[in-house]
Amino acid sequence: MPPTTNGWPERFTGGGNVGATCDDALVLLAEVVAASAAVAATRARTAKAAAIAELLRRADPDEVPAVTAWLAGDPLQSRLGVGWRTLTRLEHEPAGEPALTVHAVDAVLAELAATSGAGSAARRETLLAGLFSAATGEEQRFLVRLLTGELRQGALEGVVLDAVAAAADVPAAAVRRAFMLSGSLPGTAATALTGGVAALEAVRLEVGRPVHPMLASPGSSLDDALADLGADVTVEFKLDGARVQVHRDGDDVRVWTRTLREITEAVPELVERVRALPCRSAVLDGETLALDDDGRPRAFQDTMSRFGAATADESVLLSPFFFDLLHLDGRDLLDEPLAARLDALAGLLAADEHAVLRMPGVRRPDPAQAAGVLADALAAGHEGVVVKDLGAPYAAGRRGRAWQKVKPVHTLDLVVIGAEWGYGRRSGKLSNIHLGARDPDGGEPVMVGKTFKGMTDELLAWQTRTFPDLAREQHQWGVLLRPELVVEIAVDGVQRSPRYPGGVALRFARVVRYRPDKTPGQADTIEAVRGLLASPR
Ligand SMILES: Nc1ncnc2c1ncn2[C@@H]1O[C@H](COP(=O)(O)OP(=O)(O)OP(=O)(O)O)[C@@H](O)[C@H]1O
């Protein structure tokens, strides 16, 4: 294919060889940029969704996956092999007129992702140069934010799903369900817009394709949770490890995290244990953590160290504790009540000679027994309990009342949005961190407080090393950060505050730990923070 004068093959732009007849039909990158700006310009969720829906109605089915992925903040390709520094340092004269099509940009991103081996750095540079010289200034800025992950706000997923429902004229619940079961936003969007409700309803759990895990909402106390859910509950230990979803199909066993990142290679001991179970196929949900010799949980960092590694670090062994079974030997259990799923799980694990572990818990306890489970969990070094409605189906991806977590300390998972240079003992260290709660409507995190409490010297050193790479603004006082890191904060409660934009401020916030297993889209919302106004401790 002949390169154009700027070294950019013609098929990558909306003009040239595309031909006049279908030219009009191609969605331009500029239209996605405009929709993204419209989404950012309003706080109203319905207006955000309407802006996206309008664009989706114009898009062809094969453009829908890229358009929806980008508006939710992600390229379609999981790894592009282009670093943040490279992208933010690109300087190319912007194009005068918007001509890049969605197809063209996606083709370049696909090529970037596929480029490896000798000469790949130079090839990537050429591809990026071509892409950025063909982009207008606004498009360049959008591309940098898309490729550096700065556009990614988990809450946008929900807005895009609403938009898909509106554009396809199908119920939002049908879109959401298909998304939770397929784990793929672009795939769900394409299904909705091409096949409608029937195609969405045909989406099923598939062994080998992870589903979004069901989540728990905070219960204010054990008594409240029991009063809310009644007697038909199970009270289980809440272990402080990492969520795992394990799929087995014959001898093939694969493992995913709660963000649906595959970690099969890093956790061979979990793979072995599930492969030894007496079944052909299964989808198990559970928590895994590292225990020390007397069975007490090791530090959370030890468990997480196994999740960051590309290959296994055999010095820290993980134990699985399964608490749900979504599929067994050809039978989907998702829509069965929890009681039936637990029976099936007990049957599967009881027959296992290798003692794969089950989450400790008591079904239908009286209040004293329930309090005993909580006391036992805490005495064994765990976080608390989860109270679960035995009649509830598995609501993939939902944080509902059917599972309620009860912990003696309030903790919030918040986004780190800035950090200040410390003074005194902390001088020269990025110390006081700015904490943001997630805006459920997809906006920027809402600042709710600051803290430097609970930080070890090691953590301060780590922040000082890591934050400059995440900085979006450098100031004399410190840095403003791209919203990428999630930190778990213990609080005594929250109070009303006119100083903070959300009207609430944390009381006695202290760092428990960073949460590399969570994305900003999974941080607690400003509503969850406001919810603590009612329950000061
Ligand atoms: N018995 C259990 N049943 C369900 N989840 C459990 C259980 N024990 C531990 N967990 C963990 O608790 C999480 C449920 O709490 P939640 O949905 O709020 O996630 P989380 O924000 O990671 O929790 P937290 O921040 O309180 O640790 C699950 O994702 C799982 O990782």
Q: Of 214, 258, 386, which is best to mutate to test ligand 1, by the most ligand atoms within 8 angstroms of its C-beta?
A: 386
pLDDT (tens digit, 9 = 90+) per residue, 250-296? 999 999 999 888 999 999 999 999 999 999 999 999 999 998 888 88
The pLDDT, as a whole number, for residue 312 is 58
The pLDDT, as a whole number, for residue 1 is 33
Is position 530 annotated in a ligand binding site?
no
Highest-confidence range of 39-48, 145-154, 364-373, 391-400, by mean pLDDT?
Answer: 364-373
| Centroid of ligand 1 to alpha carbon of 144 (angstroms) | 34
Q: In this structure, is residue 209 part of a structural domain?
A: no
Q: Which residue's CA lies nearest to atom 8 of ligand 1?
A: 238
Q: Which residue's CA lies nearest to atom 23 of ligand 1?
A: 216
Name the pLDDT band for 355 (thresholds 50, 70, 90). Answer: low
The pLDDT, as a whole number, for residue 536 is 36
Q: Is residue 537 pLDDT above 80, yes or no?
A: no
Is position 258 annotated in a ligand binding site?
yes
| Residues 37 and 59 reside in one and the same domain | yes
- Mean pLDDT along residues 214-225: 90
Q: In this structure, is residue 3 part of a structural domain?
A: no
| Residues 184 and 291 reside in one and the same domain | no
How much is the mean pLDDT over the chain?
89
Q: Is residue 77 pLDDT above 60, yes or no?
A: yes
- Mean pLDDT along residues 69-73: 94
**Residue 16: exposed, middle, or buried by beta-carbon count in 10 A (0-12, 13-18, 19+)?**
middle
The pairing of beta strand 430-437 with beta strand 410-421: antiparallel
| Residues 135 and 219 reside in one and the same domain | no
Task: Check residue 167 and give left, alpha or beta (phi > 0: left; psi -120 to 50: alpha).
Answer: alpha
Q: Is residue 22 pLDDT above 60, yes or no?
A: no
Give the residue among 263, 274, 247, 358 at the shortest CA–CA distance from 306: 263
Q: Is residue 186 pLDDT above 90, yes or no?
A: yes
| Residues 400 and 420 reside in one and the same domain | no
**Residue 146: exposed, middle, or buried by beta-carbon count in 10 A (0-12, 13-18, 19+)?**
buried
Is position 450 annotated in a ligand binding site?
no
The pairing of beta strand 384-389 with beta strand 233-238: antiparallel
The pLDDT, as a whole number, for residue 148 is 86
Q: Is residue 217 pLDDT above 50, yes or no?
A: yes
The pLDDT, as a whole number, for residue 510 is 93
| Centroid of ligand 1 to alpha carbon of 359 (angstroms) | 12
- Mean pLDDT along residues 401-421: 93
Tell me if 287 CB under 6 Å of ligand 1.
yes
The pLDDT, as a whole number, for residue 424 is 87
Q: Of the ranges 205-214, 345-354, 469-478, which one carries the lowest mean pLDDT score?
A: 345-354
Is position 48 annotated in a ligand binding site?
no
Higher pLDDT, 116 or 85: 116
Tell me if 371 CB under 6 Å of ligand 1.
no
| Residues 238 and 128 reside in one and the same domain | no
Q: In this structure, is residue 290 part of a structural domain?
A: yes
| Centroid of ligand 1 to alpha carbon of 409 (angstroms) | 14
Told to judge if 238 belongs to the known catalytic residues of this protein, a careful annotator would answer yes
| Residues 383 and 437 reside in one and the same domain | no
The CATH number covering residue 59 comes to 1.10.3260.10
The complex scores an ipTM of: 0.94
Structural domain of 273: 215-406
- Mean pLDDT along residues 200-209: 95
pLDDT (tens digit, 9 = 90+) per residue, 115-152? 988 888 899 999 999 999 999 999 999 999 999 888 87
Tell me if 260 CB under 6 Å of ligand 1.
no
The total number of structural domains in the chain stands at 3
> Taking a C-beta distance cutoff of 8 angstroms, is the pair 428, 485 a contact?
no
- Mean pLDDT along residues 4-25: 38
The pLDDT, as a whole number, for residue 11 is 34
The one catalytic residue among 48, 238, 407, 429:
238
Tell me if 285 CB under 6 Å of ligand 1.
no
Tell me if 239 CB under 6 Å of ligand 1.
yes
Which percentage of the chain shows pLDDT scores above 70?
92
Tell me if 413 CB under 6 Å of ligand 1.
yes
Higher pLDDT, 516 or 295: 516
From 406, 427, 443, the end of a domain falls on 406
Tell me if 450 CB under 6 Å of ligand 1.
no
| Residues 402 and 443 reside in one and the same domain | no
| Centroid of ligand 1 to alpha carbon of 121 (angstroms) | 41
Q: Of the ranges 134-138, 311-315, 464-468, which one carries the lowest mean pLDDT score?
A: 311-315
- Which DSSP string do the residues of 14-54 spell out, in sequence order? SSGGG-HHHHTTSPBHHHHHHHHHHHHH---HHHHHHHHHH
| Centroid of ligand 1 to alpha carbon of 157 (angstroms) | 21
